[in-house]
Amino acid sequence: MPFSYVSHLTCPKCKRTYSVRKKQQLCFCGSPLLVEYQLEELKKNLSPTDIGEREPSLWRYHELLPIKSADHIVSLGEGMTPLIPTPKLGRNLSIPNLYIKDEGTIPTGSFKARGAAVGISKAKELGIRELAMPTNGNAGAAWALYAARADMKATIVLPVDAPTITRAECSISGAKLHLIHGRISDAGKIVAQMVAEKGIYDVSTLKEPYRIEGKKTMGIEIAEQFNWKLPDVILYPTGGGVGLIGIYKSFKELQNLGWIQGRLPRLVAVQSTGCAPIVKAWKEKKNSSEFCTNSTTVAFGINVPKALGDFLVLEAIYQTDGCAVAVDDDMMLQEQKRVASLEGLFICPEGAATIAAARVLRENGWIQEQETVVALNTGLGLKYPNTVQIDTPVLLED
């Protein structure tokens, strides 16, 4: 039985196909590429019960990942993050069956580790030695650290306003770190120039096809953790949107395998009112988004003015009868505090945005009381210590 059932790459726009044996970036038409698997073959050879005893990492799903040989895996033990019942928060929201999938409990402290682990492993399999990327912080930290583990050179370009802790993560890994005045879109332009000049591998969001495969394991885990019966709603903080695209892709694959039945969860893209291009596009029933100028939000990870995969995010929303919601920074920070004090989870502002959105959607009736709802916390709150107000008396030693 093969380690991976990966087949080839397909362009979701123009339907061109590409080999997974060579380095690929975007399609000739400019679209991101998606990985295809031999699902009919896999269906005959594997069932969910085979997976139960495997190690608690995302590599338990290796048949559905693009790495052909276990020897190429670059892992820090990422995946199988806790799916945490949050009944007190749920009562507060009138959503008693509320869960938080906690992506803080993962190497590098954010869900970006999934994309980095699979992306770097595939890059290793392809013989790649050097890469570059723009980032809002967490992705750069994750890719820099996994690149170090894989003996690859990494160049990371980061807005100067991004959480400063992520600089330490990039720097200690030995990566080349550049700070810029501007947003991730500006950082992206600098990387594009480097890549064009030096021919190094561009691992910007969706410019290589494998990060999404790492992210999709969040969807598979949610399915497995609910014993292959999916929840009604999943809320996801949406910047580049790779996680949402990945979760949707995983559910389609699990449907094809016959591992899940029935309606898919309604997928909700949550954005900040300070940067909500997907919400605007969804409200206007469009299939792509417009560049959001002067974007700003405390949830730095979702400050993405224009996502390359916007059309895939919108497709996932439309196909699952989902929606897109924007919440403001104050709402996020209030929920961040409430989640910590009620449930003991110190989530990041992006994760808190999903709770704020759940509140809005419950209040307007889009979420029903009896529904099972999963909110994705994409990382550790402690990467953003400045979002917490501390008012503490200093006692003198007596």
The contacts of residue 36 (CB under 8 Å, 6+ apart) are 6, 7, 8, 9, 10
- Selection from 320, 323, 66, 85 nearest residue 217 by Cα: 66
The window from 238-246, 288-296, 310-318, 343-351 that contacts a copy of itself (CB under 8 A) reads: 343-351
Which pair of structure tokens corresponds to residue 136? Answer: 């809002």
Judged by DSSP in three states, 261 sits in: coil
Q: Closer to a copy of itself at the Cβ: 167 or 215?
A: 167
**Which helix (H) or strand (E) is 44 found in, with range?**
helix 39-45
Identified binder of a copy of itself from the candidate list 46, 328, 337, 372, rule CB under 8 A: 337
- Toward a copy of itself, which CB reaches closer, 259 or 282? 259
Side-chain half-sphere exposure of 248, counting CA atoms within 13 A: 25
Q: Is 209 within 8 Å of 33 (Cβ atoms)?
A: yes
Using the rule CB under 8 A, which residue among 21, 69, 344, 368 binds a copy of itself?
A: 344
Q: Are 273 and 302 in contact (CB under 8 A)?
A: no
Cβ 335 to a copy of itself shortest distance, Å = 12
What distance in Å separates the CA atoms of residue 148 and residue 130, rounded to the nearest whole number?
A: 10
Of residues 43-82, those binding a copy of itself (CB under 8 A): 52-53, 56-57, 74-77, 80-82
Question: Contacting a copy of itself (CB under 8 A), which of 112, 167, 215, 249?
Answer: 167
Contact (Cβ atoms closer than 8 angstroms) between residue 145 and residue 108: yes
239 near a copy of itself (CB under 8 A): no
Per-residue x/- track, 80-99, a copy of itself (CB under 8 A) = xxxxx---x-----------
Q: Is 2 in the site for a copy of itself (CB under 8 A)?
A: no
Report the alpha-carbon distance of residue 203 to residue 160 in Å, rounded.
20
Q: Which is nearer to a copy of itself, 144 or 325 (CB)?
A: 144
Q: Does 340 bind a copy of itself (CB under 8 A)?
A: yes
Interacting residues toward a copy of itself by CB under 8 A? 52-53, 56-57, 74-77, 80-84, 88, 102, 104-109, 145-151, 160, 164-165, 167-169, 171-174, 177-182, 186, 190, 336-337, 340-346, 380-383, 385, 388-397
